[in-house]
Amino acid sequence: MKIDSTIFGAIKIDGKIYQHDVVVRLSGEVVKRKKKLSKKLYGTSHVLSKDEAKFLFEKGCDQVVIGSGQMGNVHLSPEAEAYFETKGCEVVLKPTPEAIRMFNRSRKRIGLLHVTC
């Protein structure tokens, strides 16, 4: 499974274009991001909540690669950061174009890729 490219508002994974934020599971399955888990608490999907971190994490994951948007506007809440730390999971937070390069080189990782700003 390979993330091919991204432009504002879309991401191409294994030749398929998604026009929404995605989560790439350990298995390689691509699912729609559950932004409402963060939006209900912060009023925006640009802050990742602990609830969304719990949805994102899977046992066996060594690394979570977060594409923070084309301009890097997404960040972790302190609670989400602490949650990943308790799980011993490294978090890589980069603008989405950089994050996809990191994701493609990593193993045992989950990706959350924000496709707008």
Task: Give the domain extent around 62.
Answer: 3-114
What is the tally of structural domains in the chain?
Answer: 1
Do residues 23 and 56 lie in contact, with contact meaning Cβ atoms separated by under 8 Å?
yes
CATH number at residue 20: 3.40.1230.10
pLDDT per residue as tens digits for the range 24-78 = 999 999 999 999 999 999 999 999 999 999 999 999 999 999 999 999 999 999 9
pTM exceeds cut of 0.85: yes
The alpha helices in 14-107, defined as continuous H runs, are: 36-42, 50-56, 78-86, 96-105
Give residues with Cβ within 8 angstroms of 46, minimum separation 6. 69, 73, 74, 75, 114
> How far is it, in rounded angstroms, from Cα 80 to Cα 50?
4
Residue % of the chain over a pLDDT of 70: 100
